[in-house]
Structure 1
Amino acid sequence: MLYLDSIDSKKLVVNVYIPSGDTTPTLALYDTMQYLRCPVATRCLGYAFDLATFIVAAGDKGDRSAMPYSRFILRPISGAARGQADTVQIEANELLKVRDYLHKELAKQTGQPIEQIYKDLKRLKWFTSPEALEYGIIDRIIKPDSQVADEDEDEELEGKGLF
């Protein structure tokens, strides 16, 4: 992404069809998307579960979309810590910092109040495409090409007094 951004300012499209994602690589991708100068569109092509939903929401506002039957999941961030009690406490504190960052950024991307994000991410939360649109994860639902072609044809005929 950084290379493409450096050679051209054309829009990048991130197609998402991901069952989950690890936290550190997801945050690296998110930070990179926010850093780029070129526009970044996101498209959910079936499902975006867990942190993949966060990536879909991270696209440029107005250019985040999903297929009609796409599904999204948001869930509480989790981790696994072992070892001495002090080590477990340190890792738990770090996990809480990451959770707070993700929640703050998701609130910014979706327009939801931060309190709502915390409430919704206490448990697993599923979204259909229309629900993701209403929540602010996406901005539009992609129509199949045949449906778009039919609408374009209707618009052409409307001007000719046929509708």
Structure 2
Amino acid sequence: MFRIFLRSPQTSKLQSTRRCFHVSIARKTLVPIVIEQTGRGERSYDIFSRLLRERVIMLSGPIHDGVSALTVAQLLFLEAEESTKPIHLYINSPGGSVTAGMGIYDTVQYVSSPIHTYCVGQAASMGSLLLAAGERGHRHILPNASVMIHQPSGGASGQATDIAIHAKEIIRMRERLTAIYQHHCGLPGEPVEVGVERFGKALERDYFLTAEEAVEFGLADTILEKRPLPPSESGESLQKENQ
């Protein structure tokens, strides 16, 4: 079997009373459980499901088929709920399978909801492509996060003809990824050919970027140190300052 790899918002104010505890799942990972007191009694959610209600998707860890399926399902669900509201995709990933990542990428482009992307920690390899794939003007990176881009890698064994076929596929995928980066990260006034050449050179080896460099390179739009307050809350704050 042959696989190609790229190696390694604002939420509404909660009105109900909440308390939080942890449960243990596989590999001793603790997932917080949020308990809400509502007019109909208690409701419990794991923290990721609770964030999903606020249109927040967490994409953490290596990207593989399982992660891809979950992310795609969440994107489709949130679009079906409200197609005009933004979806906030938080990315902290070292990358992973190209095909799994492309499944997420294509869905991000497919849904009609605006996708706002956020890099927390790192967006490396395929993670960087997903960061760049967000809506222009809404691709954010936190100050100490980092981005890494590079070309796809893979391996094949068997007859010489089979190896040649797989090598051709890796080259095709590299060209496709270069074109996607250029499409989303082209700088103002930059000709397409220049953008393709710029990313072609950058993808030759592991290319690391700080938050500032990622913005300059076109992979992100803004560095977020603080999340902006919703309009209602910022208005209240301004009123208090003027009193």
Q: TM-score range by the shorter chain?
A: 0.7 to 0.9
1:89 corresponds in structure 2 to 164
- Normalising by structure 1, report the TM-score: 0.87
Q: How does 1:134-145 map to 2 (within 5 A)?
A: 134-144=216-226
Q: How does 1:36-115 map to 2 (within 5 A)?
A: 36-111=111-186, 113-115=195-197
Structure 1: any 5+ residue segments left out of the alignment?
none
Query: For this pair of structures, how many residues does the alignment match?
Result: 153
Once superposed, which parts of structure 1, at least 4 consecutive aligned residues long, lie more than 6 Å away?
A: none
RMSD between aligned residues: 2.0
Q: Which amino acid aligns with 1:37?
A: S
Structure number with higher relative contact order (C-alpha < 8 Å, ≥ 6 residues apart): 1
Identity score, percent: 30
Counterpart-to-counterpart distance in 1, 2:94 and 2:205: 17
Q: 2:213 aligns with which of 116, 119, 131?
A: 131
Structure 2: any 5+ residue segments left out of the alignment?
1-74, 188-194
The reply on whether 1:8 has 2:82 as its aligned counterpart is yes
2:41 corresponds in structure 1 to none
- Normalising by structure 2, report the TM-score: 0.59
Q: Which amino acid aligns with 1:3?
A: F
**Larger Cα-atom Rg:** 2
Question: Once the 2 structures are TM-superposed, how far is the Cα of residue 50 of structure 1 from its aligned partner?
Answer: 0.9
Counterpart-to-counterpart distance in 1, 2:138 and 2:93: 19
Residue aligned with 1:43, SS: strand
Larger relative strand fraction: 2
